Structure 1
Amino acid sequence: MKSAVENSSISTAVSDLRQLDRAIVVHVFFSQDKNVDDLNEFQLLAKSAQVDIAQVLTTTRSTPQAKYFVGQGKAEEIAQAVEKHQADVILVNHSLTPAQARNLESLCQCRVVDRTGLILDIFAQRARSHEGKLQVELAQLKHLATRLVRRKTGLDQQKGAVGLRGPGETQLETDRRLIKVRITQLQHRLEKVAKQRQQNRQTRQKADIPTLSLVGYTNAGKSTLFNQLTQANVYAADQLFATLDPTLRRLAIQDVGTTIVADTVGFIRELPHDLVSAFKSTLQETTEASLLLHVVDVADPRQAENIAAVNTVLQEIKADQVPTLLVYNKIDQLENIPPHIEYNDENQPVAVYLCAQSGLGMELLLEAIRQRLSKTILSLTIQLKPQQGNIRHAFYQLDCVRQEHISDLGEYQLQLEIDQIAWLKLVKRFEELAVFHP
């Protein structure tokens, strides 16, 4: 079935850019201040996709134009640049509608790839594991499904005469059906992977092993930090999306014991929604973590915006309630910032300043993790209705029930001694527990 989709002559904006040499980059400023940071980041994305940028064209508009996204005059200028540089692709730093992409392709006689398509291509190049490849293919097909167009082929003619009867559907309908079937196959495979990951997580939870998940904006230094923490040899490079496949390693921390550290994919502004949903099983390591290590490039002028972009994705995958420790990395690129720990009013570590590349300040990070993971035991008395037996079962699985009384109405009154992190996870899992404030 896969070969049927791959061999069909589907016109797609999500293409393999590895064979392409020259690109025209297009960026539209929607405000007068012309902040070039977004454009610079997009050029880094293009270079990560192994594309040679021949020319960068910019324009200013108040709103996108319906036909080309850019104005008619700018669209013709793009066509001239394509012809001048013999460009193979036009990269647009915005999300285009299928119609806008087709109109621009038709005018310029050149393939057009928008921001989402470019990110998908980078992911396709970087995926190494079987799961990663499945996830990327799923995201690509979902993106492609909205961009199918009618083409002049034999199957487009439905005739009723003898010997001329087609399959009863146009080529466009055939393409859609094949893609729909393939998407269903990929989703089933990824569900199996997700179940396997869930079993592994449950095993760790039963063994009471805390999990640390590294999150952060792409190229913030997560993999470098991961290698410093665990002495692993994970691929780390100064490029966007160097890490796609999650890696887990053990780490022993004083007074805490064995922990599991997970290195995850980096986030970016306007991360395609299809990618977030496709990488759901991978990102589950983040939602189930005991502590998030949010790695921030302290030397990046857009530090605050990057943090906000990561928090947006964490909210989307429902990991925004997981306890977080900020890790400000790359302090060697700034002056007069020594490695140190920041504490809140409750004397709890909230941020660590370090340099993962040189290892400067790593002992402070381990100390902050130790303080954050040192167990805070809560003593709670809660009352459950007879139909809430699943919650009662979850408490017994955690071996935190110290006393139980069943009323005449069949209600359970439980006295608990439970680790605070485990309690917060249960509150996220069973929203009705939120009324029992510790």
Structure 2
Amino acid sequence: MDLLNYPIDFADQGEWPTKRINSLDELPSNSLIGAHDPAIFYDEDCKTFFAYCTHNVFYTSKDMKHWERQGKIVPHMPKETIDYIGGEDLWAPDITKVNGEYRMYCSTSTFGVSRSIIFLATSDTPFGPFEYKGIVLKTDLNSNVNAIDANVAVDQKSKKQYLVYGSFWNGIHILPLNSEGFVENIETDSNGVLTNYGINIASRPEFTDHAIEGPYIIYNKETDYYYLFVSYGSLSSDYNIRIARSKNITGPYLDIDSNEITANSDYHTGHLLLGGYQFGNDTPVMGPGHNSVISINNEWFVVCHVRRKDYLHGGISTMHVYPLLWDESGWPIIVPNIYSGEKQQKVSLKDIIGMYDRIVMESRFPQQITSSFPINLKEDKTFTISLNKGTFDLIEDSKHNQILELRIGNICERYQIRPILDQYSKKQSIIMTGLQNGTTSCFMKKITLE
């Protein structure tokens, strides 16, 4: 197979450590092992991608394939946050640029409690160092929200910035920011603890332990929707990425089945973009989540952390960059293979036919790793899955994307087709990503033979 007829090379990730590491400095500087809660940012001035991560570390790249670990985001954590939190780790940063000033929203807390702070630090360069400017939000042990996981989003009509935040408890909230980067007309008690949490735009029921966090809002001008990405589940096992969308930045946000993603008794609520997965005998990918999103040169990407399969211990994370495509219905669909510079292109029937590993990413509780099942696409445009038989066709959608439409019984799956460098076999292959019956994420990856 020779589909990628342009220069391309594999994305560097780094080797998984064979023993427990106590510091990222024990790893090569070009390793992404340990990257966690990545916030992706591209700076036009220096033509560089940045990934700002939990544990006060950031990475840089010129192509989103080869990364270099840099120094600390904030050289010294502020004394007032250390005194309040009782710790000095920096979590889940997010960055925005306003009138030449780079504003970093940093979280600090300790695991499993709501005594937390989001603070603002600024710099005149995305490389930092970022200087502490003050507390943006503060919650305590009595708060019904958790002041971590900040994301800054912009209302496209008013150009006003909003702060989206939250983890567990009563979920995800949104508050307006003023021109200085702090919450507009903030309401607090005498100790500075937030009392008006803002608008609740996403939450989960008690039986799930209210497990929702890592909000990230993007706007797609072609669909005129705001898309809210969140992570469900435990970051150590069944983490997974969910989406809802709205015509207004403050919601309500509805999933692909038109359900509002606020607390209810249905764990299916929230469109499942990606959970843990395994194609064939590839290494299982566990717990994709806490993602950010970037659009560059009309291409979209999801950047998230993942782990190797270990339900009991979780283990160290690493960062994956996945291409993000758009279904003609206006919902994002993800390419579950690490980006290595591939471009969208049409593929002939001759190259398409063959054996694939197929995954249907159904919502589960808990959201364990979904394994593939083989499917054989034949030259006469029929296919077999075990003893089951169906048909497929190659068509174009309304956006002129090449689509493989697969039909069997009352099931219709519509896939966009993407040539790839397989991150495991290191060979050219084909991956397909789409929706089953317009609602459920599904994937197929061509099996490359030795």
Range of TM-score over shorter length: under 0.3
Compare the two structures and name the one with the higher helix fraction: 1
Q: Which has the larger radius of gyration?
A: 1
Structure 2 length as normaliser, TM-score? Answer: 0.27
Structure (1 or 2) with the greater strand fraction: 2
